Amino acid sequence: MIDARDLVKTYVLGGQTVRALDHVSLKVERGEMVAIRGPSGSGKSTLMNILGCLDRPDAGEYRLAGEEVSRLSSDRLAEIRNRRIGFVFQTFNLLPRMSALENVALPLHYAARRDARQRAMAALEMVGLAERMKHEPAQLSGGQRQRVAIARALVTDPAIILADEPTGNLDSRTGEEILALFKSLNAAGRTIIIVTHDANVAAHCQREIYLVDGRVTAPPAVAAPAEVR
Amino acid sequence: MLLWMILKVALRSLAANKLRSILAMLGVIIGVGAVIAMLAIGAGARQQILSRLTALGTNLLTIRPGQRGFMGVMSGTQQNLTVDDALAIVREVEGVKQVAPAVGSSVQVKYMSRNTRTMVTGTTVTYLPMRSFEIDAGEAFTEAMVDASARVAVLGPQTATDLFGVEDPVGKTIKIRGINFRVLGVLKPKGDQGWFNPDDQVIIPLTTAMKQLFGVDYVREINVQVNEDADISRVQNDILALLRRRHRIQEGMPDDVNIRNQAEMLAAFTESSRTFTVLLGSIAGISLVVGGIGIMNIMLVSVTERTREIGIRKAIGARDRDILRQFLIEALIMSGVGGLLGVALGVGGARVIGSLSNQFPTLVQMESVALALAFSAAVGVFFGYYPAWRAARLDPIEALRYE
């Protein structure tokens, strides 16, 4: 599903060149649930932006669902994001003053689909929020908002769901519920990538890709279980 | 994205900041209203002047004595036009239909104990039809009465009311400078023309006025009606040449008479009122542009406030042109709704101005409404484009990070 090779991205910050990604290569197969983990500044946000087609790499190749997307124009990238990628953000990023249903239907409107309403209702049902679809985000709890966001990511039937710290703004119990939802979606065949700094979240995934200083490395030895021992 | 979805989003975001949206629209409302009201005043004035001048007749020439001048110092009006001049014009100039020499002065007129000061005009029977006066009651004097220097008078409706009130003046006797005159008829009202009220005058036979009332040998003016098919400027030149000959004006000396042409006055009035309208309209147009700047200002604020929303929309697949369209339509709604409200304000304002005084008659023309609406839409696109473009080219990653 995802095949990225030798991705390089550099930034100039205050006159200094920072190499955020240094020849990163990775593969994610269809139906996998993968964590991208690393400390802050490791380049995982940059990697997520490139994998999510919000940004383009300076060098390297990125094939998404068989299509080379690393050199596309910004309008083409917007179409790819619309059709192939579903985003879930740490801060939910729902639009205020719009009902849950309207928020979920929004990606379909940009695809100019006329069956938006039915599909949005089906997606909300999938995340267990069918009876709350008329509510605006301000009237929903954090966990419910994240469920709406997940429904919005699902509604276009994308190739991958890209979640950036999806439990970061939730209490641990609600976070567990959201992770359980991701797992059940994965069990239903969805390809899911979760970007996180949290080893506990990453532990819910089938495997993790660990980043330090813009490079993929082996994860550090887990210290916590050693103390228990 | 479907158009009605864009409209819905735009209306909702305008409604979320009602006061702000209304204040931003206010500039356009006032601008469009001002343009329409100003154009209506201009059009009304033009129509009024036009109808007054055409009521006087466009094929009329008025000959008056020229100003006597010496070394640039004007020293009063000459006395040089005679009844014979008038007769010679009818006889010798081709294309002249009829003439009406006239004398006149403002004098005291009495009936019983009532009196009024009014313009008494002595003229021939041709005067009334030439000036398109009509008789309301009684009758006009005849040619025989003029020949006989009869002491008869026709009253303007205003004068009749001043002297007689509700009484019927026809057949009664009035005193002009102490001389008795029998009232033959009353004119139909024509309405005040600003510089002269044709409803407030007394018309008597020319001969009576010259010999008995004023004791003059010269006339104040000669009115000339030109045939419909005649070239009016050619007739004008012929009359001028004839009068120079009759008055023995040396070659190279200035004319001693002045000929005014109604058609020329009409053209001059129309031209000056058009200039006036364009001037008023452009001043009002400036306020419309200022209104557009107000919309641009609010749209720039709105784009900054909604940076995160723009980021979200881009992340889920909005293209640059989707964002551009959305903000442009928002600006267009503001200028469009503002324009419509402005039309209401302008039409209402024009009505109020028109009904407050007859000094400013107003006429709202469909063209000026269409012009103002088109202009306000253009203002919306022009001043909405820059903020919308700023929104469209925002980087989605930075927009998502914006707090």
Report the alpha-carbon distance of residue B380 to residue B376 in Å, rounded: 6
What percent of chain A shows pLDDT beyond 70? 96
Where are the alpha helices (H) located in chain A, listed in sequence order?
44-51, 74-84, 100-110, 116-126, 142-154, 172-187, 199-202, 224-228
When pLDDT is cut at 50, 70 and 90, the band that residue A86 belongs to is very high
Q: Check B317 against A52: CB less than 8 A apart.
A: no
Q: Check B317 against A93: CB less than 8 A apart.
A: no
Q: Which amino acid is at A192?
A: I
Rounded to the nearest integer, the mean pLDDT of chain A is 91
Residue A4 is assigned to a structural domain of this protein:
no
Q: What is the pLDDT of residue B58?
A: 67
What number of residues does chain A have? 229
Q: Which residues make beta-bridge pairs with B107?
A: B118
State how far the alpha carbon of B350 is from the alpha carbons of A4, B23, B153, in Å: 70, 23, 42
Residue A138: which domain range? Answer: 32-57+71-219
Nearest CA in chain A to B326: A110
ipTM, interface predicted TM-score of the complex: 0.92
Q: Check A83 against B317: CB less than 8 A apart.
A: yes
* Number of compact structural domains in chain A: 1
A179-197 confidence digits (pLDDT tens): 999 999 999 999 999 999 9
Residue A25 is assigned to a structural domain of this protein:
no
Q: What is the pLDDT of residue A222?
A: 60
Q: What is the pLDDT of residue A146?
A: 95
Q: What is the pTM of this model?
A: 0.73
Q: Which two tokens stand for residue A157?
A: 């039937």
Report the alpha-carbon distance of residue A201 to residue B367 in Å, rounded: 69
Q: Check B400 against A93: CB less than 8 A apart.
A: yes
When pLDDT is cut at 50, 70 and 90, the band that residue B73 belongs to is low
Domain harbouring A149, CATH code: 3.40.50.300
Which pairing describes strands A33-37 and A67-68: parallel, antiparallel, or unpaired? unpaired
Greater confidence (A127 vs B131) lies with A127
Residues in chain A whose Cβ is within 8 Å of chain B: 49, 52, 54-55, 74-75, 78-79, 81-83, 87, 89, 93-95, 97-98, 106-107, 109-112, 152, 156
Residue A51 is assigned to a structural domain of this protein:
yes
What percent of chain B shows pLDDT beyond 70? 94
Q: Summarize the confidence of residues B173-192 as an average pLDDT.
A: 90
Nearest CA in chain A to B395: A54
Report the alpha-carbon distance of residue A116 to residue B60 in Å, rounded: 76
| Confidence check: pLDDT of B369 > 80 | yes
Residue A100 is assigned to a structural domain of this protein:
yes
DSSP label of A220: P
Residue A17 is assigned to a structural domain of this protein:
no
B311-360 confidence digits (pLDDT tens): 999 999 999 999 999 999 999 999 999 999 999 999 999 999 888 877 77
| Confidence check: pLDDT of B146 > 50 | yes
Q: Which two tokens stand for residue B61?
A: 């020439």
Q: Check A93 against B315: CB less than 8 A apart.
A: yes
Q: What is the pLDDT of residue B45?
A: 82
Residue A165 is assigned to a structural domain of this protein:
yes
Q: Collect all residues of chain A within an 8 Å Cβ-Cβ radius of residue B308.
A: 93
Q: Give me the torsion for CA of A178, A183, A185, A191, rounded to 10°.
A: 110
| Confidence check: pLDDT of A224 > 70 | no
3-state secondary structure of B64: strand
Q: Summarize the confidence of residues A145-169 as an average pLDDT.
A: 94
Residue A93 is assigned to a structural domain of this protein:
yes
- Residue of B316, B321, B400, B403 to mutate for A, most A C-beta atoms under 10 A: B316
DSSP label of B238: H
Rounded to the nearest integer, the mean pLDDT of chain B is 88
Report the alpha-carbon distance of residue B305 to residue B13 in Å, rounded: 11
Residues in chain B whose Cβ is within 8 Å of chain A: 1-2, 5, 12-13, 16, 308-309, 311-322, 396-397, 400
Report the alpha-carbon distance of residue A108 to residue B128 in Å, rounded: 81
Residue A98 is assigned to a structural domain of this protein:
yes
